[in-house]
Structure 1
């Protein structure tokens, strides 16, 4: 009987606890389950989005160099439907190159600007350098320099300086161009295939290529 009495006391305590806290506990449990369900649903959505974006990007790549209109349509679809994905940024860069090759500079600039506004730091840097190149071709020198403003990841700083040198040389600002090319050389490794070209451009604007330091023994 003592055991039965203990069970009755425990049951009474449980009933009292449930009466006081049970409803709140249920809400917490439901909220937790909803959060978990939402997380797993979001993960599934992300995976599905990635697969779909990848397929559309592959379609775009297959059209590069063959059908510029198709490239532009695929890039537009990726931007509108999967704009936060890396595929959309890569597609915009590819579409800009396709448009440039088709002499559609307006579209090329628009695609590069989209990447600058929506891309991650690395893709933004690439877009800035390419946009400055398009503007350089148009002789829009001030706009080209403005496109290169702002911070970029360290690995792109030499390329930015190199492009600045190109723009400044085109403006006949030779002293500033030399400084830009020297900055580009300072950020370029000796084994880089770009180094020789930067050296040639530096010499073309009256600069002197700095002597390379001997390798450490």
Structure 2
């Protein structure tokens, strides 16, 4: 190997060593930070998995209490679920058990303020509450709970609230909107048609398929 080549390699080595001396601390710190992030993420994931498993076990324990007809115990267990994904499901199960036990007002209290980040589940919570409010003679409040929801189930409940308030024209409008959104083969379509007929409406005949 030529002397010039040896000098070039030596010079390059010296440059590398100089760079390491200048930047070594930052490089090591970056590696340590990266490792800390990886370890932290794994720890958080493991912790979250344990929390989800515990919440699932707590939810099952609440269901067991409902099966044993111990609504009082189930109520405290449902409250303990906090903001876990099982909390809205626990509210629905608890409210149903309360209704079945003749505790309608308690079911209303259970459903009030219940929230879910899942839009579909949130609609179900509001619809259940609205139906109970109608049954309790609070149809006006039921309409407030439903807000401007325009899915078929919410529209049907809105129609029921209008019927309870004696507003037949508004009820016809709501039921007609439901039928416009429901498929001809929908299992609930016939019931909505009967409701529309009861308030003086006339269900439109489905168009014949070609």
Normalised-by-shorter TM-score class: 0.7 to 0.9
Alignment match of 1:193 (pick from 187, 203, 207)? 187
CA contact (8 A) 1:93 1:115 kept: no
CA contact (8 A) 2:91 2:111 kept: yes
Structure 2: 5+ residue runs without aligned partners? none
After superposition, give the CA deviation of every residue in 1:109-166 in whole Å (9 maximum; x if it has no partner). Answer: 34323433x44211110011011011111211221001001447xxxx0000000000
After superposition, give the CA deviation of every residue in 1:62-103 in whole Å (9 maximum; x if it has no partner). Answer: 333522122212211212xxx142x22211211122223334
Alignment match of 2:73 (pick from 66, 70, 75)? 70
CA contact (8 A) 1:115 1:127 kept: yes
Structure 1: 5+ residue runs without aligned partners? none
Superposed, 1:34-183 pairs within 5 Å as 34-65=36-67, 66-79=69-82, 83-85=83-85, 87-116=86-115, 118-151=116-149, 157-183=151-177
TM-score w.r.t. the length of structure 1 is 0.85
CA distance in 1, matches of 2:187, 2:84: 33
Shift of 1:205: 0.8
CA distance in 2, matches of 1:106, 1:28: 59
Shift of 1:11: 3.9
CA contact (8 A) 2:66 2:97 kept: yes
How many residue pairs are counted as aligned between the two chains? Answer: 207
Q: Tell me the equivalent position of 2:28.
A: 26
SS for the counterpart of 1:71 is: helix
CA contact (8 A) 1:71 1:98 kept: no
CA RMSD of aligned residues (A): 2.2
TM-score w.r.t. the length of structure 2 is 0.88
CA distance in 2, matches of 1:113, 1:16: 68
SS for the counterpart of 1:70 is: helix
CA distance in 2, matches of 1:30, 1:150: 53
SS for the counterpart of 1:115 is: coil
CA distance in 2, matches of 1:36, 1:114: 38
